[in-house]
Amino acid sequence: MAREKLISAKTKNRPRLMLLGARGQLGSDCREVFSSEYEVCGFTSADLNLLHPEKIGQAVLHCRPQLIINAAAHTRVDACEHEPESARLINVEAPACLALAAKELGALLVQISTDYVFAGDRPLPLGYREDDPVGPVSVYGRSKLAGEKAVAGAGCDFLVVRTAWLYGRYGHNFLKTILRLVLSEPRRERQVVADQFGCLTWSWRLAQQLLSLVRAGKRGLYHAVAEGSASWYEVACTFLDMMEVEHRIVPCLSAQYPTPARRPENSLLLNHRLEHDGLLLMLPWRRDLKLFVARNRERLLAEASSF
């Protein structure tokens, strides 16, 4: 079976990690972070199509991992409204198949989930803990919640980690999009919603947090997001200012730009269990963003200018 394998002489006796979504935003960072301790078998959508969950068990048994990280999902929120069957197969059936295979092998399954499992109607600045009632308002959110339940009910060792508003060096994200738009037409005024609030989270930091949870032998449900919160408008302005890119970003309301899927107005997740367990590695979002820009500014500018 075709798959991307990161193997060297030093990794032959290491435990094996099966990583789904290996070339995506979080998957790419997990591949780098976990390769120091694991033999990483990375699977992309070309290697393993999650629209065909019946093939997943065979792939897991062929790989025979001790750890599985599912960083793959149908994450195009608006598309999920029109493609509920694809969302079900990728976000529900695929994790369920992974969980059953993990149980058979005695492997640990790490399932990545989302802030969209909550309704997002809690008054600001209150956030959501792991034990707060869920209530998704979109097909995407409902499918991810169903995926959580499928994993938790399969009887395998598992970690479900909810995160939000991811950005990173790899893949597509809001920061890269707004940078490309501003650079393409510097004088054009751009509107960004100022009434949706969440936790901007660096995928590299999240990968480090996932490794710490695995090392500590933790199980169950965790939230893992950057500390603090902001609106998309505040995020856009802060990022472009750090990038030293002139811009004309102005705030607007979500109602001015209706979308097929309803977005939570309040996506604030609280890292309650991480704090309780003394494992919190997540930093304030501005601090992480500053470090991300310092490491990647030239690369981001070159990438944005190439479109």
Catalytic positions = 140
Backbone angles phi, psi at 99, to 5 degrees: -65, -40
**Pair 267, 196: CB distance under 8 Å:** yes
| Burial class for 244, CB neighbours closer than 10 Å (0-12, 13-18, 19+) | exposed
DSSP 254: G
Task: Report the C-alpha gap between 170 and 191 in whole angstroms.
Answer: 25
DSSP for 33-93, please give it.
Answer: HHTTTSEEEEE-TTTS-TT-GGGHHHHHHHH--SEEEE------HHHHHH-HHHHHIIIII
Q: What angle do CA 139, 144, 146 make, to 5 degrees?
A: 95
**Pair 247, 182: CB distance under 8 Å:** yes
Query: Which residues are CB-neighbours of 110 under 8 A, at least 6 positions away?
Result: 67, 68, 69, 70, 158, 159, 161, 210, 213, 214
Name the helix (H) or strand (E) containing 158. strand 157-163
Q: At what angle do helices 232-242 and 174-184 cross, to 10 degrees?
A: 60
Among 75, 13, 17, which Cα is nearest to 207's? 17
